[in-house]
Amino acid sequence: MSARTINKLYEQTYAALNSQNPNLEAIGKQVSQLKVGVVKLAIQNSEIEADSSFQLLKRGVAELGAQLSIKIGDIAAFERYLAQLEPYYFGNRMGLSDSDVMYPLIGLNLLRMLSDNLIADFHTMIERIDLEQLQNNPFIVHPVKLEQALMEGSYKKVWQARSDVPTPEYLFFMDILMSTIRNEVASCVEKSYTSLPFSDAKSVLFFSNMDELLKFAQDHQWIVSPAEKRITFKSDAEDTHLFQGENIMKQTLSYAQELERIV
Amino acid sequence: MEVEATPEQKQAETHLARSIKFLQRGIAASETHYIYRALRTAFSLRKRLQPDVIAEIATAYNSNGNSQSIKNCLNVIFESLQQSPTESTPASVTCEPEVCLFLGLLSALYLLDNGHIESGANLTEVLVEAISTAQRRTLDPISSRVFFYYARFFEVANCLADARPKMLSALQAATLAGMKETKAMLLTLLLRNYLHYKLYDQAERLTAKSSFPADAPNNLLARHLYYLGHIEAIQLNYSQAQTHLLEATRKAPSNAATAGFQQTVHKIYVIVELLMGNIPDRSLFRVPTLKKPLQPYLELTQAVRVGDLAKFQDVVGKYQDRFLKDNVLALIQRLRHNVIKAGIRSISVAYSRISLRDICLKLHLDSEEDAEYIVAKAIRDGVIDATIDHENGFVQSADVHNVYETSDPQYAFDRRIAFCLGLYNDSVKSMRYPDSNHRKELASTMEVLRRERELAHELENDDFDGDSDVDAMDEGL
């Protein structure tokens, strides 16, 4: 394939992906064709790497791949594409101007980290984004706010954030995030309530119907009493005050060892 | 150079000449000891360095050294001193590269102090090149300083990223050649380099994949610890970060020259302490060198301590530019939930039972539902010990139990004991014993022992001779 045919294929794929009803399977094939084409170009002509239009094409292909992988729900592939895009999005950006989908994709990547509970990576990424964008770009502000709410424990806000996502693509990760949150809430509820009536438990855990709640309670081994319509939580506060003999033995022995060395 | 030299210049020259003698002695004995001494004298002359002084010394050395390669290298130095662009002659040094690099280092110092950044960068590049061809143990202290100025020139010229490839390959070479100080310096410089571009990922990987030499000089160690602490703080590894930053402040000497370092480290240290839920000592903010630069951080600490969200936002807004300059704004943003936690904690201490609505009002939260979740999370995270009554909408604090019934005090003691023992072990390890002296002492004790034995022998013999010789023996003693 020559550079021109690749560019043409790229245009076609781009248009197809952004159309109303994209045929994802066909696009997937085209994207892999594009990837092979780009690699071949680079092998044939080693100087082409310095060419900005080639870099633009490379970036475009990776972006297509990232968008596609979100649509088909392939998280691992999305992560790989974002790693490829890193030199284009941070630092000197290979001398190219910002891409249109840059911030949406970064925002999606941030969401991916949140939903995967990779908070350290999330913060490392945040450090590299310009302050201006961090405070004003809707695609970035959304995950940042979300993280803050998560850390505080304002789970209601997280739940509400689902309804005001900047683009529909965010919903994919939001849904994953929701199940993570439900588990978080469950672990909080276990510790902080002695018991809850069914109706309150349902709203606290964001369930829409009773069956889901009962199944969830069963999974977490909560005590359900249908007669009282309550869920009771086990308390496990007793075992924290136990005397930890082994630990103390270890410590004392290590002191003895050290003292031996000194005297 | 037949210029009339001022007495000051004369003095500088003699000092330099002496440094070079030290260098040569160091090379002969392959003892880094002398090299350090040479460097120390030279750096004390920094203010008085003039191109003609260096040139004079270089010429003098050149006529004795008579080696072609040294001449090459010195030519480069001369050229850059005259501020003409250097043609990069690959200086393959075969004879005493130490002296050559030492002179190069002095020239670089002069160029840096006088703002000739570009020619300085060129010069250090040549020097770095020269180091790569000569790997010797005695070169270690000098080459580490060359790299320092190499990185410095690039930083001043604002193209730090360009220095990275050379430093990485030099790091590899230094590790293989066992040049510990150079390795320590390069690791530190690379971390600085990465942090400058906020490449925390790469910096973290570098530290994970390399080991910092244990016997590196203290000032390098302190800097390295600071960078480590910074990276760990970004990656939410607060307890590690706290240990490293604290160690950095302790390892760095506390004098006027290191005030800047102390300030920078303490800024991050305060935030990390806050993020861990501790409140730094008030006395820290009273230290004269820290008082002024830490003022915003003091206000921040106060806001977090009281748990006043509005005040916290005020402080952040007020000092936003300062925090941004110190590169800690993102870290501070993370403090928000610590403020809330502190607020919840003080509420739970003060009230045995309080309605969710009141909590919501006191902490300026958006809704009661949020307050409920936040309190639930605080309970789960062990911030407070309480239960929530959902139907009646209040929080009931559990009875405060005696800390001395738990194993907490024991943990605290254990931490302190471990620290003391670590300190003791470190000081034992870092003690130095002059090796030849005690052998001399040993010889003299052996001598004494021998004499005593002889004496005893004679005394034994004398017993048979009777008392006649006792006086004579006394004199002999």
Model pLDDT for residues A68-90, shown as the tens digit of each residue: 888 888 888 899 999 888 888 88
Joined together, the tokens standing for residue B125 give: 């590049």
Are A132 and A106 part of one and the same domain?
yes
B61-100 pLDDT, tens per residue? 555 444 444 555 566 565 555 433 333 333 433 456 777 7
**What does the pLDDT read at residue B191?**
92
Region B290-301 average pLDDT: 90
In a domain, B280, yes or no: no
Q: What value of ipTM does the predicted structure carry?
A: 0.75
Segment of A190-194, B179-183, B250-254 carrying the highest mean pLDDT: B179-183
B207-228 pLDDT, tens per residue? 988 888 887 888 899 999 999 9
CB contact under 8 A, A154 and B370: yes
In a domain, B127, yes or no: yes
How many domains does one find in chain B?
2
Q: In the predicted model, is pLDDT for residue B107 greater than 60?
A: yes
Region A221-246 average pLDDT: 72
For residues A129, A130, A134, A139, the Cα torsion angle rounded to the nearest 10 degrees is -60
Q: Which of B367, B382, B401 is the last residue of a domain?
A: B401
For residues A214, A216, A220, A224, the Cα torsion angle rounded to the nearest 10 degrees is -10
What contacts B393, CB < 8 A, 6 or more positions away? B355, B356, B357, B368
State what percent of residues in chain A have pLDDT above 90.
3
**What does the pLDDT read at residue B474?**
46
User: Domain range holding B374?
Assistant: 351-401
Identify which of B197, B379, B421 has the shortest CB distance to residue A191.
B379
Which of B195, B341, B390, B401 to probe by mutation at the A interface, max A CB count within 10 Å? B390
Are A93 and A129 part of one and the same domain?
no
Q: Which of A41, A71, A98 is the last residue of a domain?
A: A98
> How far does chain A reach from its first CA to its final CA, in angstroms?
79
Q: Which of A77, A98, A119 is the last residue of a domain?
A: A98
State how far the Cα of B179 lies from the Cα of B181, in Å rounded to an integer.
6
**What does the pLDDT read at residue B51?**
65
Q: Which of B162, B196, B230 is the last residue of a domain?
A: B196
- Domain at B363, CATH number: 1.10.10.10
Are A104 and A150 part of one and the same domain?
yes
Are A74 and A105 part of one and the same domain?
no
Mean pLDDT of chain B: 79
Task: Provide the residue type at A208 as one letter.
Answer: S
Are A156 and A145 part of one and the same domain?
yes
**What does the pLDDT read at residue B462?**
63
Min CA distance, B387 vs chain A (Å)? Answer: 5
Which of A82, A93, A127 to probe by mutation at the B interface, max B CB count within 10 Å? A127
**What does the pLDDT read at residue B192?**
92
In a domain, B325, yes or no: no
Which residues in chain B have their CB less than 8 angstroms from residue A191's CB? 376, 379-380
Are A223 and A259 part of one and the same domain?
yes
Q: In the predicted model, is pLDDT for residue B327 greater than 80?
A: yes
In a domain, B413, yes or no: no
User: Domain range holding A220?
Assistant: 194-263
In a domain, B167, yes or no: yes
Residues B160-187 as b/e (b if ≥16 CB within 10 A, e otherwise) read beebbebbeebbebbbebebbbbbbbbb
Are A1 and A94 part of one and the same domain?
yes
Are A205 and A155 part of one and the same domain?
no
pLDDT band at A243 (very low <50, low <70, confident <90, very high): low
- Residue A200's closest chain B neighbor by CA? B390
In a domain, B294, yes or no: no
CB pairs under 8 A between A and B: 104
Which residues in chain B have their CB less than 8 angstroms from residue A231's CB? none
- H/E segment holding residue B8: helix B7-29
In a domain, B324, yes or no: no
CB contact under 8 A, A127 and B414: no
Region B373-400 average pLDDT: 84
Q: Which of A192, A210, A229 is the last residue of a domain?
A: A192
In a domain, B75, yes or no: yes
Q: In the predicted model, is pLDDT for residue B337 greater than 80?
A: yes
- A66-to-A58, A63, A165 alpha-carbon distances in Å: 12, 5, 19
B373 touches A at CB < 8 Å = yes
- Domain at A169, CATH number: 1.25.40.990
Tell whether pTM > 0.90.
no
**What does the pLDDT read at residue B16?**
75
Are A92 and A153 part of one and the same domain?
no
Q: Which of B176, B196, B216 is the last residue of a domain?
A: B196
How many domains does one find in chain A?
3
- B353-to-A5, B374, B393 alpha-carbon distances in Å: 73, 16, 10
Are A70 and A105 part of one and the same domain?
no
State what percent of residues in chain A have pLDDT above 70.
96
Tell me which of B440 and B219 has the higher pLDDT. B219
Joined together, the tokens standing for residue B261 give: 């370092």
Are A204 and A257 part of one and the same domain?
yes
